[in-house]
Structure 1
């Protein structure tokens, strides 16, 4: 069976966002007198707003004034996003162009809220390539729950089992696999752990490698019956 649709995470997969966001988080912590706990930060990658709050509260403990930290972090990040485009990750343009040539509808499924997602996609020039955008504020359960991928597939009118999904994070990869999608993980800041690797999805170094694999298969992938 040929590819019916492709659904992409955004931050760390389409856009080189995670390093920018982590740097801004570190600056915000230092400005408010908190240590920068890198393992705690890395644990929130791929989570929606609710998951981020829960993990940061767990990691920093009761001394954390989360609303104050979040507001300052968000203000710094919004200012950065509004000023200039986030760089596009290697292979993005080539893969999206090829999938379009195959006639596959394309969607974004991101844990970011809609305002931020639309700004980042517009400034990057990628927005016109996607048929729909589904965001973390539109679902009850964030990644690794499959809800956001299920909703994105439903908006495209495609069975999730007939979708390719592309992710960088462990949380996102678990979500896509749980939705029944053929999942490619291209790690960014966090490498897949043993539990994630055990899911049996494809882990490749970059999107150029994904494109080469799909082209060699003539656009056909082993989708479930």
Structure 2
């Protein structure tokens, strides 16, 4: 595997935020006497603000008054993620430290709003690991469009084909693969279906497992290099 940079999604991959967000949505639905349609909700994972609105309006139907729902939802979600350190997912710190030790540039490509993403990462103690952060508010099309991953790669000045991409969501996987990146998926709330698995990327249980695989790959590359004739 030939890679020169690593690009990470944030929510559900680095930080255990997806469950917090879903609970806030469930509570908002209850407050507004709306049903919590989990199968519809899960379709928003990996989407930016525009995509979230589209998925929810399509799923709930034309009678949904989206803005009051969004206001109620965010009034419950933001006080948590803007003031509390969200737990870091398994293997994150070790993987980031290892990539830094290999002198691999690291970036974030998140569908979240930029300022909120910065706040989440700072509270969790992760912000200083990253050379750049690209957010959903900086692109015209959200995931599964490749635009945000291509933006992140360009900011690192590394071609997309030489970037590792780390994602939890199916939308994010489609985005990174469309960008031409080498993709690792660590599923969170939504498991990959047959169509996603058929894309041929690597699916792992945790970023700790990913780190083990990368270390083995780096060792094999070194051994192969050492065996080359002079």
TM-score (norm 2): 0.94
Q: In structure 1, what is the Cα distance between the partners aligned to 2:69 and 2:101?
A: 44
How many residues are paired up?
221
Q: Which SS does the other structure have where 1:76 is aligned?
A: helix
RMSD: 1.2
Question: How far does residue 116 in structure 1 lie from its aligned partner after superposition?
Answer: 1.1
Q: Which SS does the other structure have where 1:104 is aligned?
A: coil
Q: In structure 1, what is the Cα distance between the partners aligned to 2:217 and 2:186?
A: 19
Q: Which SS does the other structure have where 2:108 is aligned?
A: strand
Question: How far does residue 81 in structure 1 lie from its aligned partner after superposition?
Answer: 1.1
Gaps of 5+ in 1: none
Q: 1:27 to 1:219 in 2, by over 3 A?
A: farther
Q: Which SS does the other structure have where 1:217 is aligned?
A: helix
CA contact (8 A) 1:2 1:219 kept: no
Q: What are the Cα deviations for residues 105-127 of structure 1, in whole angstroms up to 9, with x where unaligned?
A: 00000000012101100100000
Q: In structure 2, what is the Cα distance between the partners aligned to 1:63 and 1:13?
A: 33
Q: In structure 2, what is the Cα distance between the partners aligned to 1:51 and 1:183?
A: 22
Map of 1:101-116 to 2, 5 A cutoff?
101-116=101-116
Q: In structure 2, what is the Cα distance between the partners aligned to 1:11 and 1:103?
A: 24
State the match for 1:92 in structure 2: 92
Q: What are the Cα deviations for residues 44-90 of structure 1, in whole angstroms up to 9, with x where unaligned?
A: 10001111000100111122110111112112111111221110000
Q: In structure 1, what is the Cα distance between the partners aligned to 2:59 and 2:36?
A: 11
Q: What are the Cα deviations for residues 116-144 of structure 1, in whole angstroms up to 9, with x where unaligned?
A: 10110010000000001000000001000
Q: Which SS does the other structure have where 2:218 is aligned?
A: coil
State the match for 2:69 in structure 1: 69
Question: How far does residue 21 in structure 1 lie from its aligned partner after superposition?
Answer: 0.5
Map of 1:25-40 to 2, 5 A cutoff?
25-40=25-40
- Higher CA-based Rg: 2
Question: How far does residue 190 in structure 1 lie from its aligned partner after superposition?
Answer: 0.4
Question: How far does residue 219 in structure 1 lie from its aligned partner after superposition?
Answer: 6.4
Q: In structure 2, what is the Cα distance between the partners aligned to 1:189 and 1:204?
A: 14
Q: 1:86 to 1:44 in 2, by over 3 A?
A: same
Q: In structure 2, what is the Cα distance between the partners aligned to 1:151 and 1:137?
A: 12
CA contact (8 A) 1:3 1:219 kept: no
CA contact (8 A) 1:85 1:124 kept: yes
Question: How far does residue 195 in structure 1 lie from its aligned partner after superposition?
Answer: 1.2
Q: What are the Cα deviations for residues 170-219 of structure 1, in whole angstroms up to 9, with x where unaligned?
A: 00000000000000000000000111111100001100110000101116
Q: In structure 2, what is the Cα distance between the partners aligned to 1:109 and 1:157?
A: 15
TM-score (norm 1): 0.96
Q: Which SS does the other structure have where 2:142 is aligned?
A: coil
Gaps of 5+ in 2: 222-230
